[in-house]
Amino acid sequence: MRPIAEATPLLQTPKKIFITTHHKPDGDAIGSMLALYHYLTSKGHSVTPVSPGELPDFLMWMPGVEHLLNYEAEPKLALQALADADIIYCVDFNDYSRTKHLTEQLAAATQPKILIDHHLMPAPVWDYGTSIPEKSSTAEMVYDYINQCGDNSLINKDIAECIYTGTMTDTGSFRFAITTADVHDMIADLKRKGLEHSIVHEHIYDSWSESRMKFLGYVLLERMEIFPKYNTGLITLSKKELRLFNVQSGDTEGLVNYPLSIANVRFATLITERGDEVKLSFRSKGDFDVSSFAREHFSGGGHFNASGGRSKESFSETVARFKKILSDIHPR
């Protein structure tokens, strides 16, 4: 992968640009994609941002969201945009399979592909890019990219809100250890460009439905197990429970973090039964590497302190296997 700066000559004349991100997009995925959309559009390019699947409700307010194509709703339009594109940007993922639906199409695409991402172990498939696991968020890297292009003055309120959303959600509202002085410097700059941060917080965190709040109560009371011996908290949710509470896409967002608020819990896992697979989310505090854990045991990956994976076994088999692994490795 060549440095992203070397891709600059490709952008000297107006281009058709396709941007995509990972399936089940979060605040950083959509924030990064839309920040880049606004920036490249302001430079005169024709840009199509494509989400591989639907967005959670708490992101539907974002500036530019009306220009997003959802592959699951409009696959033909999305594939046409990919075929027509001169350049492809991939943000907040580093392996084609994380897009789920676009895996083969991206692999077959011959246009220059540019990566902006902060996950560990990028697949060796990009022509240009920047991959920095020490970065708080891909949104912060989009901010750096715009600055490297000499375009700080093009950052307007829309771009600021998108970048803020991505960084805020990936850093747990600026509390995780990955939140550097550079992040705070960036936020100061975004504030000077018109960012109203409390409105973004309200959109993201104070937009729950009553049923989501009651579902959280149920989860904490009935579905959370704490294993003090292993410094671990586990939440498991079957398809039946998700249906019973009419759980919407995005309603399980953040659940995995709750056990980490208990003293001495340093490893938290959420296991959810979805469609034809079982999805696992892992979070840790300190030096337990959940990225390796996900890769080794659950065909996944991600970051040192936040990762995910999947299992093709049944829900109950997956939960049993997880508990067995726990007793074998004794996380600290």
Q: How far apart are the two ends of the chain, measured CA to CA in Å?
A: 36
Name residue 229's amino acid: K
CA distance 266 to 277: 26
CA distance 178 to 183: 9
From the list ligand 5GP, Mn ion, none, partner contacted by residue 266 (C-beta under 5 to 8 A by kind): none
Is residue 251 near Mn ion by the rule CB under 5 A? no
CA atoms within 13 A on the CB side of 183: 25
Task: Give the x/- contact pattern for ligand 5GP in 264-293, rule: CB under 6 A.
Answer: -----------------x------------
β-pair type (46-51, 232-237): unpaired
User: Smallest distance from the beta carbon of 172 to ligand 5GP, in angstroms?
Assistant: 12
Judged on CB neighbours under 10 Å (0-12, 13-18, 19+), 112 is: middle
User: Smallest distance from the beta carbon of 324 to ligand 5GP, in angstroms?
Assistant: 20
Is residue 20 near ligand 5GP by the rule CB under 6 A? no
Name residue 264's amino acid: N
Binding ligand 5GP by CB under 6 A: which of 101, 197, 201, 310? Answer: 310
User: Smallest distance from the beta carbon of 28 to Mn ion, in angstroms?
Assistant: 3
Give how far Cα 190 sits from Cα of 174, 197, 305, Å. 15, 9, 27
| Sign of the Cα pseudo-torsion (137, 143, 146, 150, in order) | negative
User: Smallest distance from the beta carbon of 175 to Mn ion, in angstroms?
Assistant: 16
Total of residues contacting ligand 5GP (CB under 6 A): 14
Is residue 302 near ligand 5GP by the rule CB under 6 A? yes
Contact 272, 242 (CB under 8 A): yes
Is residue 253 near Mn ion by the rule CB under 5 A? no
Is residue 303 near ligand 5GP by the rule CB under 6 A? yes
Is residue 255 near ligand 5GP by the rule CB under 6 A? no
Give how far Cα 202 sits from Cα of 61, 206, 273, 288, Å. 11, 5, 29, 32
Task: Give the x/- contact pattern for Mn ion in 137-176, rule: CB under 5 A.
Answer: -x-------------------------------x------
Binding ligand 5GP by CB under 6 A: which of 32, 300, 315, 322? Answer: 300
Structure token digits, residue 64: 């530019």
Contact 129, 114 (CB under 8 A): yes
Query: Under the rule (CB under 6 A), what is the footprint of ligand 5GP?
Result: 22, 95, 98, 119, 281, 300-303, 306-310
Contacts to Mn ion by CB under 5 A: 28, 92, 138, 170
